[in-house]
Each structure stands twice: as C-alpha cells, then as structure tokens.
Structure 1
Amino acid sequence: MPNLFRLLVALLLAAAFLPVGPASGEPRQDRCVVLVSVDGFAHFYLDDPRSDIPTIRKLAREGARAQGMVCAFPTVTWPNHVTMATGAAPARHGVLGNSYLDRTTGKPVSLLPDPIYDKDQIVRVPMIFDAAHQAGLRTAGICWPATRNARTLDWTVPDMAGDGWETFGTKSWLEELRAAGLPVDRQADWCREPAGGVQRDWLYTRMAAQVLTKHAPNLLLIHLVEPDHVQHRTGPRSDEAYWCMSYTDDRIRDLVEAVQRSPMAGKTTIFVCGDHGFLPIRKDIRPNVLLRQMGLIALSDGKVEKQAAWCLSQGGACAVYVLDDARRQQIIGELRTALAKTEGVDAVFTPERFAQLGQPTPEQDPHAPDLWLSAKKDYSFSDTAAGDEIIAARPSVGGTHGFLPDQPDLLSACIIHGPDIQPGTDLGKVDIRDVAPTIGAILGIELPTAQGKSLMRGGSGK
C-alpha cells in the first residue's frame, strides 16, 4: 500500500507539468510559438457561463490551462508584459510601473505607449525574443509593450500611436502589409478613438496572419488591447465586457486559422495569456489632496508650486515619492501613518518590504518610490491634488487593476496549446514569470536571467 500511495503521488505531481521539452542549447528551427497577450483577460472569464469564448475554451480543453496566473505588482500593463517576456520581476527587469516620478523634475514620466525610451533603455535583461534571435531563430512582435526600436525583432511594430510605426516599425514589412491591403496607416487614428481598439485588434491579428503565413517566424508576440479598454469604462463582468471577450475570441480564431495555413502548421504552440485581471471601482482615493492638506503640496492657479512629496497612481496601486531630502525620513513616517488611516487603502509598504512585491528600493533604483500603496476592492487611486475631497464617488461603476496580485479576480488566464502539450493538462496556479522560460523550453533556448520556471518537466527557475 505505501508503494501504491507513493506511485499515485508521483503521478499526480507529474500531471502538473507539461511533457519534457527539447534540450536547452538546441534551438528548434522546426517550431513556432505564438504568444498572445489579451490585455485584461482575467482568469474568471474562462469558466463564466456568460463568456462566449468557444475558440479559447477549445484551446484550453485540447491543451493546458492554469487555474489562474499570478501577475507582477503593480498589476498594470507595461511591467507585466515585460515580466511575461523576460521571466523576471520588475526589480530585475527595470520597468516598475506604467510610469514613474522623476525625482529631479518632480514630474511623472509615462512609459506607455513607449513615448520616450527604446526597449534597450528601459528593459535591463534579455527578453525571450532577444534569446531567440541570438539562437538564430526568426522573431516578430506586434504592439508588444516596451519593444520600441527592438533590434532583435525581425518583423515588428511597437505599441505606439502617432508616427511610431513609421519611425520604429519594420519598413519593408509595412510596405508588404500595405500591398496586401491592410490599413496599417490607420493605427494613429484608431489609437485616438475611444473604441478604436476594436479596429486595432482586427488589424493586429491580420498582420499576424500575414507574417505567419508568409515569413514563418519561430516566435511571434502579439498584444490585443480592447478588453482592457472596455473593462476600464464599464467594469468587469459588464455586458460590454462579455461582448468584448466574444469579439476577442473571434480574433483568436483568426490566429488559429492563420497558424493552420502557415508553413508551421502542426508545429506551432499558442499561448493565450492575460497580463492582469480586473476589479470594479466605485470610488477614487486622492492621496495628493491629503498631502496638500498636510502642507506637503501647494497649488497656485491649479499648478504645483510646492512639492515635498507626490503620489503617482497605478490604478489600484500607488507609488509615493518623497522629494524633500532634508526631511525624507520624517515625511515617510508621517505619510505612512496618515495613508494607513485613509479610507480605501488596503496596505502601505515600506522599502524593507519591497522585495516581497518584486520591486526595488530607492537605493537600488532611482525610479523606485519611498512607499507603495494598494487599494481595497471598489477603490482606485487618482493623481489629482485639487479640491477638498480625499475620497470621491464615481458617477458610474468602472474597472481597474494594479492591486496586489493575490486576489482571485486579479489572476489572469494562461492557456497553452500545441504539439508538445498534453491535452487536458491542469497546470494549477502559475506565475507570470513562468511564461518566458516555458517558451524557451519549447524552442530549445535558454533565458538565464529568468526567475520563473519552465512548466515543461525538468524546468527550473533562478
């Protein structure tokens, strides 16, 4: 009986992993991986009977699925896309949020949509396409965050509006797409439209189909955007959110059909992942109003004229920067106490606890804040310092993310389908840092700076 028990335990443990991948150091020219990031694809949509997502469910049924994927903190788009593509936490890869505060100027610096920095200026470790390119594999990226001017993507358009595609995209590929009748020159217009993500996701999947069928890359990263936009406006589990998930499923179907027409048909693994989940929000927390009332901020005609500290929203999280070096420790202590008592604030983290968030301290990274905050459900942070209300009700329910990643509705989806994947595999709960090492295992390439583990048997993390 003990031997039988041990055998059953071993079988259960083995079932939690995918089949053994190819040995590292042997790049697989005969394999393709398509990593699809669906922005805001919360795990709960997979089993929700109101979700009309037959293609995604078929991939999950015939492949592997996680029981939720734990994302990086803050659970926002830019750091999580970099984590997904590097296998590393923000403290290691360097993209700490969607924005940071420049301590010299006191002004926010936005990282989305890649308006200032090239990929190599903000991402400090190799991304999975860097490793693939170095191994001699062909790589492509469509609107993947933090890939501006990425020289190791053979066919690419960055996640940028304006003239970003013309400036940083692969010019010869853009000409091919124009010749094929795809309206790539409408990207800038559609980025400005409130519902432009619908057209954008339609365009992105057709661009993916072209590169898959004509150029047969070994690795394609593609970012679909509209589910995030809709849930911000109307909240998760809204009628509009269910419509958008159905629309997104149609776009995944387009990608699956393109794979079936491609030279890599039968040799392609598709990952469908979310970068974060979503929570509903009904109230805004305005910590900079509190700082103004404490005398740390002063406004004149609506403009900041005094700034001893500043709070920078990351949705359901907030980065607090102290800019008065002479009184830094005193102000940190005062803010820690005052913010912990503020309605809607769930947790206040000081630098000695940043490591558990996967974030660096200010001594380790000048972009790091002095405190991190996370909001409770139904609350979101706002940057405004005007007015007298620290807590303000919203006129209608919306949605956001950024909160601590361990909440069930903040878990994202993770589905893997392909020739190396055992149908019906239950991966349990996985970490977003596991995605890149798993891709590496399938393609036979190494990513030494990754902290996650490959979900293929024998995978390990560092």
Structure 2
Amino acid sequence: MPQQHRKLIAILVDGLSADYFDAHRQRMPHLSAMAEDGTRVVRLASAVPATSMPGRATMLTGAPPERHGAWGNHIFDGQTFRCALANDLKVPTIAGRARAAGRDVAAIGHAMVHPGDADCFYPPWWLRGFVDGSRFAKSARLDGGIYTDHVLDPDDRLAAAMVADGPLLLSADLAEDAAAALMNGMHNDQRSLAAVAALACSDSPPDLILTEVAMTDAIQHLHGFASDPAHWAFATADLLIGSLLQRLEKAGRLDEYVVAVCSDHGHAQMETALFPGAILPDHLWEAEGATLHVVARSAAERREAAERLAPFGVTELDSTHVPEPHRDRIATFVAPDRHSFEAKPDGLPAEQTMGPPKYVSTHGLRPGDPADDRFCAFYGAGIGRGSIDRAVSEDYLPMLAGILELPATDGDRPDLLG
C-alpha cells in the first residue's frame, strides 16, 4: 500500500499584519482559534521589499529576492520596469517541488505559481493586468470577463467539484466605481475559497492546494489600516476560512489536511505621498510602497538621485535584494515614517513634489520595520499547539515542505515545525 502523506492547503491572506491581528483578533474568531489550537508564528518578517510579488515568491521558494529573481512587483529588464511573473523565478516553488515528488497539486488563484507546476490550475482573478499588459493592475474586471488561456483542469475535476457551488467566477453587471470593484473582488475571493473547499472534499482531493484572499490588501490601500472597511474585509476573510474549515471537518478531511494561513507583508498608515517623477524628472524609477527603485547608470546618477531625495527625509539602502547583473544599476531608497512613493496624479502643478496619498495605507517599509511583520499560523492534521516568537521570510517554505514530507534542498532553512 502506498505511503499516506499529510495534505496541505496554504492560504495567503494579503496584507494581514502581525500588528493588526494582535490588536483585532476578536474580529477574526476562526484565525484566532487556528492560532490558539495550532502553531502560530507570532511575527514573521517580510521579504525586501515588503510588497506583493517578492513576498509571494519568497513564500513559494524559501529563497530571498536576490536568489529567486522577483525583487519587486516590477523588475528592471535592462530597458524598463516590467511585471514580475512566475517565469522570472530562478528557484523551484513548493508547487514544482511537490509535483516533482509525485504529489497532486492545485493552484486556485495563487500568483507566482507556474501552470506547468500544477495538475489543476486557475489563474488569480486579480492579475488580469499582469496577464494582459506590462503594468500591475490589482482589480477585478467589472464586466465579469476572465482570461482562460492558462486554466488547467485536464480531468474536469474542478468543474465537477464546483457543480454544487456554481461556476468559479460569476459574471457581474456592476457599475464602474471603486466600491463595485472591491465588492466584486471580495466575491471572487469567496468563489476561490469555495473552489478550494470543493476540491479538498471531493473524491480526488489534491495533496497541495495553494490559494489567496486578495482584497484585504486593496481595501487597506484605499481605505486605511484598521479602518472600518478593513475590519469588514478581514472579518470576511475569516468567515471564508472558517467555512472552509467547517466543510473539511464535515467531510472528515480535517484529519488529512493541514491548513496554513500566512500573509505576504504587513501594512501601515500613510500621511504623505512623495512624487518621484517630480523629484527625479530625468530618472527611470519604480515605486514599491515606501520603497523606491531608481535606475542609476553611473555613480554620478546614483549620487544625484540621493541628493535630490535627501531633503524629503529619504535615505538610501543597499540593493543586495536585487539579483545580478542589475544590482549595480539599481539604487534603492526608503521613505521616512508615514511617507510613501506614488506617481503624481494628473492635474497637479509640475513642480509639486508631494501630496495626499492615493494609497492611505501601504507596505514596503524600511527593512525590519515591525509594521511589515505578518500573520502566520498552521492548524490541522498533526499540528500541535505551539508558538514561534519570530521567524524570517525564508522560514515559511521549509515548514510547508516539512508538512508534505518533501526532500530538503541545499538552500532550505531548518523546518521550525520540527
């Protein structure tokens, strides 16, 4: 008889910081129960910069950005900044490693997973801008349309599992406004979690399922850290995870699956946006929240950028998170407390260098800033009650690999779950 391994559902809840959970855990009873009855990493540090694609890539690979290659939401290709994609990863992901070990893998809406590393694959609903263009566009399509080029379900398992739940993503006739987009996005998060539950409780449950709850980040960006909309978003995310746990228990699958919930970065309230386009009009740059990357083709250009940014309280960091061969050409800067970098809105005077932020809460803060520490907890089959005070970003992957009993690689850190 073949050896039976534990199965794993890994859920990324976008932007759930350790600080927010500690202050508002009563709003999230299911995550609180996971943290109390399972094993919680109290403070899991973020990758550098603490933004979406570097965070996801490090979670999936266990490697820092300078090794895995996704060192920003947009990476410099020698000519311009373009979106970081799964194809850019230079280190195998947990999905690829699990599949190579003979495990059955499903990726339902998880960014930075290559379709070729999954037996069942559905693209992230919020990455339409990545699929269709060169810029990051984290929003739902209000016409309800979806891109189907990368859907992979060769045995119709997802389609069969979702019969009782309806289609994975429903079309929506919604007005084109921000509130409608956020509601449509949360609806799509709900459909993704329903698909995960249907697959896990089906006759062919995957060994590894990767998924996301994405709108919690966007709602904080637009409405603020610990705002009423943010409270609603996280309470809703908690309900979605609670529903999944209840369905697993009812189907008798909670003894088979470990459920891991982790965020990609934290969040912090902003007061002022700095406009690099006005401060550095002759430079090519890319903003990553409170982190700024500037292309510096010479030492003189690097010094000039630093001198122009210094009066705004901006300080230069090293660029060790940038892989070769571009490390020497990227100057990395960080904004002062409660400041971020944004493109200047249309209609402002050319000389205006700062203003109210569009994203009133953000991340990508100075490396080591506790506001970018994030939530992480493991619950389910074989997970005992425990607490890990602190861990670095690269520690998450070895814990996933240990649950699945995958062979360790030379780059893996020790498995903190033991």
Q: TM-score range by the shorter chain?
A: 0.7 to 0.9
Q: Please give the alpha-carbon distance, in whole angstroms, between the structure 1 residues aligned to 2:361 and 2:228.
A: 13
Describe the SS at the equivalent of 2:50. coil
Match of 2:379 among 408, 417, 426: 417
CA contact (8 A) 1:216 1:262 kept: no
Aligned counterpart, 1:110: 83
Q: Please give the alpha-carbon distance, in whole angstroms, between the structure 1 residues aligned to 2:394 and 2:316.
A: 25
Q: Please give the alpha-carbon distance, in whole angstroms, between the structure 2 residues aligned to 1:416 and 1:402.
A: 25
Describe the SS at the equivalent of 1:342. helix
Q: Does 1:254 align with 2:243?
A: yes
User: Closer, same or farther in 2 for the Cα pair 1:102/1:136, shift >3 Å?
Assistant: closer
One-letter amino acid of the counterpart of residue 356, structure 2? A
Deviations 1:114-142 (A, max 9, x none): xxx5x3x2111110111111111111111
Aligned counterpart, 1:312: 286
Cα deviation for residue 336 of structure 1 reads: 2.1
User: Closer, same or farther in 2 for the Cα pair 1:157/1:49, shift >3 Å?
Assistant: closer
Aligned residues: 390
Match of 2:220 among 231, 255, 274: 231
CA contact (8 A) 2:270 2:361 kept: yes
Aligned counterpart, 1:387: 350
One-letter amino acid of the counterpart of residue 378, structure 1? R
Describe the SS at the equivalent of 1:439. helix
User: Closer, same or farther in 2 for the Cα pair 1:333/1:187, shift >3 Å?
Assistant: farther
Q: Please give the alpha-carbon distance, in whole angstroms, between the structure 2 residues aligned to 1:414 and 1:331.
A: 41
Percent of aligned positions that are identical: 23
Match of 1:398 among 357, 360, 365: 360
Aligned counterpart, 1:144: 110
Q: Please give the alpha-carbon distance, in whole angstroms, between the structure 1 residues aligned to 2:301 and 2:207.
A: 52
CA contact (8 A) 2:93 2:113 kept: no
Cα deviation for residue 247 of structure 1 reads: 0.9
Gaps of 5+ in 2: 129-140
Q: Please give the alpha-carbon distance, in whole angstroms, between the structure 1 residues aligned to 2:332 and 2:172.
A: 34
Q: Please give the alpha-carbon distance, in whole angstroms, between the structure 1 residues aligned to 2:146 and 2:18.
A: 32
Mapping of residues 435-446 of structure 1, within 5 Å: 435-446=396-407
Whose radius of gyration is greater, 1 or 2?
1
Mapping of residues 196-211 of structure 1, within 5 Å: 196-211=184-199
Aligned counterpart, 2:307: 337
Cα deviation for residue 210 of structure 1 reads: 1.0
Cα deviation for residue 338 of structure 1 reads: 2.4
Aligned counterpart, 2:134: none
Q: Please give the alpha-carbon distance, in whole angstroms, between the structure 2 residues aligned to 1:379 and 1:145.
A: 27
Q: Please give the alpha-carbon distance, in whole angstroms, between the structure 1 residues aligned to 2:172 and 2:56.
A: 22
Match of 1:452 among 409, 413, 418: 413
Deviates further, 172-181 or 139-148: 172-181
Q: Please give the alpha-carbon distance, in whole angstroms, between the structure 2 residues aligned to 1:74 and 1:199.
A: 29
Cα deviation for residue 198 of structure 1 reads: 1.3
Q: Please give the alpha-carbon distance, in whole angstroms, between the structure 1 residues aligned to 2:89 and 2:55.
A: 12
Mapping of residues 149-298 of structure 1, within 5 Å: 150-159=115-124, 160-161=127-128, 165-171=147-153, 172-176=156-160, 179-186=163-170, 193-214=181-202, 215-262=204-251, 264-292=253-281, 297=282
User: Closer, same or farther in 2 for the Cα pair 1:382/1:344, shift >3 Å?
Assistant: farther
Q: Please give the alpha-carbon distance, in whole angstroms, between the structure 1 residues aligned to 2:173 and 2:214.
A: 15
Cα deviation for residue 178 of structure 1 reads: 5.8
Match of 1:80 among 51, 55, 58: 55
One-letter amino acid of the counterpart of residue 351, structure 2? D
Mapping of residues 39-58 of structure 1, within 5 Å: 39-49=14-24, 51-58=26-33
Cα deviation for residue 187 of structure 1 reads: 6.9
CA contact (8 A) 1:157 1:168 kept: yes
User: Closer, same or farther in 2 for the Cα pair 1:321/1:449, shift >3 Å?
Assistant: farther
CA contact (8 A) 2:62 2:397 kept: yes
Cα deviation for residue 451 of structure 1 reads: 4.4
CA contact (8 A) 1:313 1:381 kept: yes
